[in-house]
Structure 1
Amino acid sequence: MRTLEQVRASLKPYPVEVNFPDLSPWKNGNGGIDYVYSFDSGEPGPHVLIMALTHGNEVSGAIAVDTLLRSGIRPRKGRLSLAFGNVEAYQRFDPQNIDASRFIDEDMNRVWLPSALDGERESVELCRARELRPLIDDVDFLLDIHSMHEESPPLMMCGACAKGLAFAKSLGVPATVVADAGHANGRRMRDYGGFGDAKSTKNALLIETGQHFSKKSEHVALDIAARFLVATETVAGADVSRFLSREQPVAQHCLQVTDPVIANSMDFSFTDDFRGLERIAHAGTVIARDAEREILTPYDNCVLIQPSLRHLGQGVTVVRLAKALDL
């Protein structure tokens, strides 16, 4: 049986192309929660939040939030919050073991359930989530900035509600929007409370900017953050024009996740070097093997969403399967 270290050693290493910002200037926050800054315009409007570092090694979000804080940006309407999530994991980043600092005890993007937040279980990530919970409870619009294990075009994860898809369309980027219901082993921040309630006016998006340490991901994170602030009318376009990409957006398309593929063993392997958004033409194509079990595509033109073995383990989702959805 392979170990996770052996699996990771067999995978392509990615260069670290970006600089990790020093977050120590932001430690004390300005409202009672470490690494959280909130600014009130004094004018009516929503409370919007840009969250970075829900996972400790996803640095593009940290770069974007650090840049926005250093720019002195302030809201014209409502309230703007800028926050760093799992800073303790971020501070343990090791360039020789780039996948290890995703979290310390457990995935902080799987704990957003009342049963976990109100329960007796303790972990570094639950402690931080509980600290952040009063902030998250007050937010109307959330952008949670993530990145991916493998080199792949950016994805906007809009959740399972129609309101999330409409929100993603209002930003106009990236080209690929993914409608999904999250993960079976816990709830994401973007699905917490009113964000995941179709009847609530609250709304949230999760952007996967690209490979964790790619310079492209840094640019995507800043571009998306700027567009999010304009779309929520928190700022005017002129306030964030320097952060916007000069590339013209292309027409968006949407994919609907239908099936998560969950590993049953450490003997899981893909049949090709999949990185994400591969379109498999024919149903019944073998895309992976899990010990003796073959993983087959369930329909024609099946698209692979975020295939990766970098956090392989029993019960871990290693890829999700999706089909085209009309916008």
Structure 2
Amino acid sequence: MAEPDSLPPALAAFLAAAPSGRPPRMDVGIALPDLGPWVAGNALPGVWSFPAPAPGPHVAIVAATHGNEIGGAVLLDRWLRAGLRPACGRLSLVFANLDALGRFDPEDPTASRFIDEDLNRLWDEETLSSGRRSCELRRARALRPLFDTVDVLLDLHSMLWPSDPLILTGRPRRAADLALRLGMPPLVVADEGHAAGLRLIDYGPFAEPEGDRTAILLEAGAHWEEPTVAVMEQAAARLLRLTGLMTEAMPEPRPAAPRLAAVTRTVTARTPGFAFLRPFRGGHVVPARNTLIALDGEEEIRTPHDDCLLVMPSLRTMPGQTAVRMARFVGA
């Protein structure tokens, strides 16, 4: 696993500027393509769904659940322009938060994560059926009937803070099994989600203990970088091969041996003063239990066990947000 060295200069400046006001401009190494041809969709706005003559599973690849994470939209645009079609079953390509994605500005690339609220914290029955209104809830309710028909879903994400790529699987063992079979990237983390609300991969049909529908979330690497798009494409193409939707031979990197880690503690920031003692990189393993890694006001945050994997530490965290997940390797 990668060691927590110094932050990239742009991120160091971002973090240093956080207490004093607006963060500085961050570099965007990829361009959001013209999505005009895809906005209308053929199933729903922003949703393109293609059946094959032969039977098979319904697989959905979801991009831009967060509007500032444009790598998945770059990939779906590439596949749509190439005319990708499934050999069996049904393939749905979903631009999830169209409104936020449409506001993406490379001069202020962190600003368009959502319009009103996080689309990836709304996927419980009570919230979806409530009288609440927001841009994201309206979109979740529109997408819900489609997701109710999906057998296998891959939600494409990227990360602000430095971290090894990984797959998040939620609670069902079948999701971890799928992620381990996928093996790209090789780090698989099973967790309980966020205190702030359920993710799409935690939505009822995908999370039922005895169900057979499966959803996994790919954190493919840093926002706005071409290598992140490459990881998304490798993982999504491999998923289509595993599910039988893609049959033609395509070159792919040989996956490393996958490893599964189970989250043992999710740390949610309680105060505005939450701070790590050093700029930990996601994927770092802390050797000894009871190691102090952060302070949340007066509360000490310590590792609960030896060989503690730090999952996606957020180096600038607001109260109520997940600051870090700590995990133990299964079988270690």
TM-score by length of 2: 0.91
CA contact (8 A) 1:160 1:181 kept: yes
Over 3 Å counting, the alpha-carbon distance change for 1:121 and 1:237 in structure 2 is: same
Residue 302 (structure 2) aligned to one of 292, 296, 305 = 296
Partner deviation per Cα, 1:209-244 (whole Å, 9 max, x = no partner) = 011112210100111110111111111143xx2xx5
Matched, 1:81 2:92: yes
Shift of 1:12: 9.2
Shift of 1:314: 1.3
Match of 2:265 in 1: 259
Shift of 1:10: 9.6
Q: Which runs of 5+ in 2 are unaligned?
A: 1-14
Q: Which amino acid aligns with 2:137?
A: L
CA contact (8 A) 1:60 1:209 kept: no
Match of 2:152 in 1: 141
Over 3 Å counting, the alpha-carbon distance change for 1:5 and 1:97 in structure 2 is: farther
Shift of 1:7: 4.2
> d(CA) in 1 for partners of 2:139 and 2:65?
10
CA contact (8 A) 2:59 2:153 kept: yes
Secondary structure of 1:100's counterpart equals: coil
Shift of 1:262: 1.1
Q: Which runs of 4+ in 1 moved over 4 A?
A: 7-14
CA contact (8 A) 1:150 1:210 kept: no
Match of 1:185 in 2: 196
Match of 2:254 in 1: 248
Partner deviation per Cα, 1:124-159 (whole Å, 9 max, x = no partner) = 110111111111111111011111111222101122
Shift of 1:97: 2.8
Q: Which runs of 5+ in 1 are unaligned?
A: none
Residue 307 (structure 1) aligned to one of 307, 310, 313 = 313
Q: Which amino acid aligns with 2:311?
A: I
Q: Which amino acid aligns with 1:296?
A: R
Q: Which amino acid aligns with 1:68?
A: W
Secondary structure of 2:62's counterpart equals: strand
Shift of 1:251: 0.7
Residue pairs, 1:80-229, within 5 angstroms: 80-229=91-240
> d(CA) in 2 for partners of 1:326 and 1:192?
28
TM-score by length of 1: 0.92
Shift of 1:6: 2.5
> d(CA) in 1 for partners of 2:108 and 2:66?
15
> d(CA) in 1 for partners of 2:266 and 2:182?
27
Shift of 1:288: 0.7
RMSD: 2.0
Match of 1:276 in 2: 282
